Chains A and B, each alone.
Chain A
Amino acid sequence: MSLSLLLVQILNGLQLGVILFLIAAGLTLVFGVMDFVNLAHGVQYMLGAYLAVMFYGLTDNFALALILALASALVLGLLLEFAVFRHLYDRDHLDQVIATLGVILFVNQGVKFLWGAAPLSLPIPEILSGSVVLMPGLLYPVWRLVIILAGLAVAALLFVLVTYTRVGMLVRAGATNAPMVSALGVNIRRLFMVVFGFGTMLAGFAGVMVAPILSVEPGMGDSILILAFVVIVIGGIGSIRGAFLGALLIGLVDTLGRSFSVDLLRLFLDPSSARTVGPALASMLIYLLMAVVLFMRPAGLFPAKGR
C-alpha cells in the first residue's frame, strides 16, 4: 500500500462523496420541507445521464448536451411532480413509498424500452480527458477532478443561497417547521416547487457528470439512492450541512473500505480468509457506520428539527 494509492483512493472517495451530496441535497430538503419520502429521486439522476447521452448523440457537443439534459430533466421532474407527487403530500409515508416505488418501476422500464438494456456511455470532452500529475507518481483523471471541483462549487453555492438569501432562509425555516412557515403566510407549495426543482436539477447534474465514467444503464439510480438515504439519515433530515458532511464521510469510508479492507484484514487474518471476508466486510461498512451513528443520535448528526 503506497501513499499515492492512498491519495488516489481518497480522491475517489471525495468524488463519490460529492456525487452523493448532489443527490442527497435535493432529497433531504424535500423530506425536510414537505415531509415527502421520494424513493424516485434516483431516477432523476438516471434521467440526467440518459438525456446527456441522447443530446450528445444529437449535438456532438458536451456543453450543449449538459444544458439540454439539465433543462429536460427539470421538465420531466416537474411533470412527475404534477402527475404523481403532488397527490401524495397529504398521504402517510407508506403510501408515498409505494407510489414512488411505482414511479421507479415505470421509469426504469421506460428507459429500457426507449434505449435498451445495454449500458451506454458518453465520451469525456477532449480538453478534460486524460490525467494530470498531482504529485510525483500520482496520476489522476482530469474528469474526476472536474467532478470534485464542480461538486464543491455547487455545495458552496447552495450554502450561500441557503444562508444569505431570503428564499434560502425560508427553505431552512420550512425544513425546521413547515406548518409554522405556512401559517406565517408563506406559500409553502410554491417554496416547495423551488426546492423540488432545484433538487431535481442537482440530481440530474450528478447524472450528467458521471455519465462519462460510469455505465449508463437502467436502474443505475437505485443503488446510489440507497446510499443517499444513508447519507441523509446520518446527516440529519432537512440539513444541507448534514448532507454535505454525511456524503463526504460515506464516500470516503465506502471507497477506502473497499480498497483497503483486504490489506487491513491481512494484518489479523491469513491471506485467503482476508480475501473472503474483506469484500463482505467492506460492503457492510457504511451500514455499520449508519447503525452506530443512529444508535447514538437517532435523528442524525445535524437534524433540522433539532434533537
Chain B
Amino acid sequence: MVALPAPAVQPRLRWSAEGIVPLVIFAAFAALPLAAAFGAKAYILALFSRIMIFAIAAIALDLLIGYGGLISFGHAAFVGLGAYAVGILSAHGISDGLIALPVALVASALFGLATGAVCLRTRGVYFIMITLAFSQMVFFTASSLAPYGGDDGLTVQSRNTIAGFALMRDEQSFYYVVLGFLVASYLLCRALIGSRFGRVFRGARENAARVASMGYDVFRYQLVAYVIAGSFGGVSGFLLANATEFVSPAYMSWQRSGELVIMVLMGGLGTLYGAILGAAAFVLAEEWLSGLTEHWKMIFGPLLILIVLFARGGLVGAAGRLSRAKP
C-alpha cells in the first residue's frame, strides 16, 4: 500500500496525550450547551452537532487511512447511503429510528462488502481512484432516483423517534444523542485498533507481504475493516439526515469524500481523536470563511496546499511540535 508519515502517537493507552485529549474533547462537547445558553444557542448546537456527525465518519476514515494505509476517496458514499435510508423510509411513512438505523447500517455494510471486494484487489493509486469512482456511482444513482427527489433531494418529514420517544426532536436532546454516538464510535474504534484484529490490520499497512507470510489472509482483514468503517459512515449519514431533515445526492459526492479526507488529514492521521479535531477545524473554517466572502474557496484551496506542504501531521502534529519546542 502507500507509505504514509508516522502516526503522531503510537496506540498505547498511557496517561499521555492519547488518554487525556479525547476526554477533554468530549467534556468540552458535553459542556457546550450550557455555555451556549447565552446568544445563538440553536445555531451553535446545530453547528456542533454537524461537527460531531462528520467526526463519526472521519474517525472511521482515519481507521482506514491512518491505521490501515487504505486511502479511501469514497467514504461519503456510506454517509449518503445512511442518509437515504432515513429519507426513503420516511417517504414511505416509517420514521422509527429503531428501523432506520439498522437499515442504514445494513445498506452501508453491504455496499462496503460489494465494493470493498473489488477495491481491495487494487493497490496505491488504483485504490484511490476506484473508491472515488464508486462514490460517484452512488451519487449518480441517487441523482436519477426520481421518486426520491433525484437531483433536488428529498425532505425528511420529521426526525426519527427512538422507541417511540422523540429524543431527537429537541435541539439539545438531539445534540446529546449525537454526542453519545460519537463517544461510542470513538471507543469502539479505539478498541478495534488495539485488538488482535487491529494488530493484524495495522501490521498489513507496515508490510502486507510479511503479515501474509505469517499466515494471515490480508485481503479478508482489510475487507472486514472496510465494511466496519463503512458502517460507521452509515451511522453518520443516519444522524445527518435527522439533523438537516433533508437528504440529497450531494451527501455522497466525491467532493464530500474529499472533505472527509481533508478532515482526517487536518486533524492528524492515525490518532482517531485527531479526526474529531479535524472535523471541527474544517466545519468552523468553512463557517467563518464563507461569512467573509462568497469566494472563500479561493482562500481555502491554497490553505489546504499550505497545510499539506508545511503542516505535516495536522493539528495533532503541530501540537506535538509545540509541546516539544517548549523551553
Complex A–B touching at CB under 8 A? yes
Residues of A participating in the B interface, judged by any CB pair closer than 8 Å: 31, 35, 37, 84, 87-88, 91-95, 97-99, 101-110, 112-113, 222-223, 226, 229-230, 232-233, 237, 276, 279-280, 282-284, 287-288, 290-291, 294-295, 298-300
**Please, which residue of chain B has its CB at the minimum distance from the CB of A104?**
B301
Q: Give the complex CA separation of A230 and B254 in angstroms.
A: 14
Assembly CA distance A138 to B122 (angstroms): 43
B303 touches A287 (CB 8 A): no
> Given that A226-B254, A279-B144, A287-B134 are known contacts, is A102 also in contact with B308, CB under 8 Å in the complex?
yes
Q: Are A109 and B4 within 8 A (Cβ)? A: no
Most buried by A among B134, B143, B305: B305
Given known pairs A94-B4, A98-B304, the reply for A294 and B125 (CB within 8 Å) is no
**Residue on A nearest B297 in the bound complex, by CB:** A109
Instruction: Scan B100-138; emit 1 where CB is below 8 A from any A CB, else 0.
Output: 000000000000000100100111111011101110110
Q: Which residue of B lies closest to A97 (CB)?
A: B128
- Is there an interface contact between A276 and B303, defined as CB atoms closer than 8 Å? no
Contacts of B115 in A (CB 8 A): 291
Instruction: Identify B118's interface contact among A37, A103, A294, CB under 8 A.
Output: A294
Given known contacts A92-B2, A283-B141, is B298 in contact with A113 (CB within 8 Å)?
yes
Identify the closest chain B residue to A299 (Cβ): B126
Cβ A101 vs Cβ B71 within 8 A: no
Q: Is the interface of B mostly helix, strand, loop or mixed?
A: helix
> Would you call B298 and A84 a contact (CB within 8 A)?
no
Instruction: Please state if A113 and B295 are interface contacts (CB–CB under 8 Å).
Output: yes
User: Are A91 and B301 in contact, with the CB atoms below 8 A?
Assistant: no
Given the interface pairs A110-B298, A283-B144, the reply to whether A101 lies near B304 with Cβ below 8 Å is yes
Q: Which residue on chain B has the smallest CB distance to residue A36?
A: B125
Contact in complex: A284, B133 (CB < 8 Å): no
A108→B262 CA distance, assembly (Å) = 18
B132 close to A106 (CB less than 8 A): no
Most A CB within 10 A of own CB, among B136, B258, B308, B309:
B308
Taking a contact as CB atoms under 8 Å apart, the answer to whether A280 and B308 are in contact is: no
Q: Does B17 contact A (CB under 8 A)?
A: no
Contact between B140 and A284, CB atoms less than 8 A apart: yes
Give the residue of B122, B130, B133, B308 whose beta carbon is less than 8 angstroms from that of A99.
B308
On whether the beta carbons of B309 and A87 are closer than 8 Å, the reply is yes
Given A102-B302, A102-B305, does the pair A92, B3 have CB atoms closer than 8 Å? yes
Given contacts A93-B71, A101-B304, A226-B254, could you give 18 more A-B pairs where the C-beta distance is less than 8 Å? Answer: A31-B125, A94-B4, A97-B258, A98-B308, A102-B301, A102-B304, A102-B305, A105-B304, A106-B297, A106-B298, A109-B295, A222-B255, A233-B130, A287-B134, A291-B130, A291-B134, A295-B121, A299-B122
Closest to A277 in B: B144
> In the complex the two chains form, is B126's CB within 8 Å of A237's CB?
yes
Return chain B residues, CB-CB under 8 Å to A300: 126
Size bracket, chain B contacts: 35 or more
How many inter-chain contacts with C-beta < 8 Å in the A-B complex? 136
A98's partner among B125, B129, B265 (CB-CB below 8 A) is B265
* A102 contacts across to B, CB distance below 8 A: 300-305, 308
Residues of B within 8 A of A284 (CB): 137, 140-141
Per-residue 0/1 for B296-327: is the Cβ within 8 Å of any A Cβ (1 yes, 0 no)? 11101111110111000000000000000000
Does B65 reach chain A (CB closer than 8 Å)?
Answer: yes
The answer to whether B297 touches A105, judged by C-beta atoms less than 8 angstroms apart, is yes
Chain B contacts with A in 1-24, Cβ cutoff 8 A = 2-5
Report B137-168 residues with CB < 8 Å from chain A CB. Answer: 137, 140-141, 143-147
Chain B, Cβ-Cβ closest to A108: B297
Which A-chain residue is minimally distant from B139 (CB atoms)? A283
| Separation of A22 and B195 alpha carbons in the complex (Å) | 48
What is the interface of chain B, defined by CB distance below 8 A to chain A? 2-5, 65, 71, 73, 115, 118, 121-126, 128-130, 132-134, 136-137, 140-141, 143-147, 254-255, 258, 261-262, 265, 295-298, 300-305, 307-309
Partner of B137, one of A84, A97, A109, A287: A287
A-B contact pairs, 21 of them (CB 8 A): A94-B265, A97-B128, A97-B258, A99-B304, A102-B304, A102-B305, A103-B301, A104-B301, A113-B295, A226-B133, A230-B129, A230-B133, A280-B145, A283-B140, A284-B140, A287-B133, A287-B134, A287-B136, A291-B130, A299-B122, A300-B126
Q: Give the CA-CA distance A87 to B3 in the complex, in Å.
A: 17
- Which of B3, B147, B298 has its CB near the most chain A CB atoms (within 10 A)? B298
> Do the beta carbons of A294 and B261 come within 8 Å of each other?
no
Query: Quick one: given A37-B125, A294-B118, are A229 and B133 in contact (CB under 8 Å)?
Result: yes
Interface centre among A105, A109, A280 (most CB of B within 10 A): A105
Docked Cα-Cα span, A291 to B65, in Å, equals 22
B118 touches A295 (CB 8 A): yes
B133 and A103 form a contact (CB under 8 A): no
Min CB gap A237→B, angstroms = 6
A290 with B298, Cβ < 8 A, contacts A94-B2, A280-B144 known: no
CB contact under 8 A between A91 and B123, given known A97-B71, A101-B258, A280-B144 = no
Q: B125 and A237: CB pair below 8 A?
A: yes
CA distance A97 to B73 in the complex (A): 9
